[in-house]
Chain A
């Protein structure tokens, strides 16, 4: 997959996401991470350049290719509540993609839904609940289930864990890693959280003011890179142990 954006927001970006890999897209706020995500999702047409999915440019494809594309590229956003219809039950929310792309009876559909709910750590009795009855973490699991139940090739995760607390974050990240192994799905993980990106990604790409300043085939190269934007990013990381703190009072 390849795309080139112009204008001020994104400038000459080339990015390839291979089958079954996770690319972590890091950058400051305002760097254009989410814009790139939206372009890849087919929501915003770039002024110049192409987005190729399985060799086809999605912005000048015919109806069938676009339908195929929309099925195989899914998204999970940061705010889990605004990503679902508050008046729908979980069953309705999760059924929608299946109704659009699959022909199956209600009974079959229910079996699929229950399977997926259990897969993400919820249960059958949650089917009749409404979004407001869930916590942010639980609802994000439902969003993940909705994105994955069509077995897509790529999922764009735009700050999908950023608003969750650390315990839930850890659990959701583990779930995403597991699902990737199991389904062979590729992720574009957009975040500003280096620890989360490191945990989930195979490769890392760094976006700074609309330009892709660095791309690492192996995530460990991130720590040896001399690139200024990357160094700045490493400097902004918080210590994970009080002995290596740089701000507060020294502990020893």
Chain B
């Protein structure tokens, strides 16, 4: 096993409502190694996103209660101060959301937002940051990075924005990248391109990727390890091939059978 980047043990998340506490996550444990892609699957509402939000401390502290242990490269994240967390988000952990249209501020240019991220975490001049931003965009094969920097989010298509988002997430070379349904909002053509970019980052920087999705195609293409969740519980954890060849849990079998697949006529 390679060096472990993220380790989650006995994670429990509870939320307080006027009618008492409800448990969102029960006893989830898994780890993500360096350069590894771990897929997190399950149907909507099973707690995939809550798991990722608890890693980033993005759940409301007043109403939710996170217990267990989340360690990032040996550092315990649970109980960490908000201030310390801020310098981890974006630098040590990047987050890619499902809808790229909502993850940029609409009133600022792409360049402004990229440069802000870079300067927040490093001590470089504006000019150096700009060069770095252009580099990051070029890495993702985005055409004309200098022009792109002056564009506003609404001027780009969804697929394009998602690639800019990945460039932004990758430019700090974070040890961990959380991609929450990164391709669900994109059409199939852009989907493959975006997945290839994610794979490229993993190879180039050894970034560990936690890939949250409900699309088994994405898992089949990308994941090394797979964690299956249902109603806040982890039902199975296996190597990707093992999971597809002989799923242990009934729920995994149900998931694998749920999606119609194209019969083997396709000569790809």
Contact of B199 among A164, A232, A238, A248 (CB under 8 A): A248
Is there an interface contact between B221 and A165, defined as CB atoms closer than 8 Å? no
- Look across to chain B and name the residue whose beta carbon is closest to the beta carbon of A197: B262
Residues from chain B with a CB closer than 8 A to the CB of A235 are: 192, 268
Scoring A residues 234 to 246 as 1 if CB is less than 8 Å from chain B, else 0, what string do you get?
A: 1111111111111
In this complex, the interface size class of chain A, counting residues with CB under 8 Å from chain B, is: 35 or more
**Docked complex: B1-52 residues within 8 A CB-CB of A:** 37, 43-45
| Bound CA span A30–B260, Å | 26
Scoring A residues 167 to 204 as 1 if CB is less than 8 Å from chain B, else 0, what string do you get?
A: 11111010000000000000000001111101100000
Q: Is B191 an interface residue (CB 8 A)?
A: yes
| Bound CA span A199–B263, Å | 10
Is there an interface contact between A234 and B266, defined as CB atoms closer than 8 Å? yes
Is there an interface contact between A195 and B220, defined as CB atoms closer than 8 Å? no
How close is B263's CB to chain A, nearest CB, in angstroms?
9
| Bound CA span A245–B222, Å | 8
Is there an interface contact between B241 and A243, defined as CB atoms closer than 8 Å? yes
The total number of A-B Cβ pairs within 8 Å is 124
Q: Is B254 an interface residue (CB 8 A)?
A: yes
Decide if the interface of chain B is mainly helix, strand, loop or mixed. helix
| Bound CA span A173–B260, Å | 9
Is there an interface contact between B259 and A248, defined as CB atoms closer than 8 Å? no
Q: Is B84 an interface residue (CB 8 A)?
A: no
| Bound CA span A53–B240, Å | 49
**Contacts A223-B265, A247-B195 hold; do A233 and B258 have CB atoms under 8 A apart?**
no
- Look across to chain A and name the residue whose beta carbon is closest to the beta carbon of B46: A165
Is there an interface contact between A239 and B258, defined as CB atoms closer than 8 Å? no
Residues from chain B with a CB closer than 8 A to the CB of A223 are: 265-267
| Bound CA span A224–B43, Å | 34
Residues from chain A with a CB closer than 8 A to the CB of B192 are: 235-236, 238, 247
How close is A31's CB to chain B, nearest CB, in angstroms?
9
| Bound CA span A7–B188, Å | 26
Central interface residue in A165, A173, A239, by most chain B CB within 10 Å: A165
Question: Can you report 22 residue pairs joining A to B where beta carbons are below 8 Å apart?
Answer: A29-B159, A135-B44, A136-B44, A165-B43, A165-B214, A166-B255, A168-B43, A168-B44, A173-B260, A199-B260, A235-B268, A236-B192, A237-B266, A237-B268, A238-B220, A239-B220, A241-B220, A242-B240, A245-B222, A247-B221, A248-B224, A252-B241
Closest 7 CB pairs of A and B: A238-B217, A199-B260, A170-B258, A165-B214, A29-B187, A248-B222, A165-B44
Inter-chain pairs besides A166-B214, A251-B240, A252-B241, 5 sampled, C-beta below 8 Å: A29-B157, A196-B260, A242-B241, A245-B220, A248-B199
Chain B residues with CB under 8 Å of chain A are 37, 43-45, 157-159, 187-192, 195-196, 199, 214-224, 239-241, 244, 254-255, 258-262, 265-268
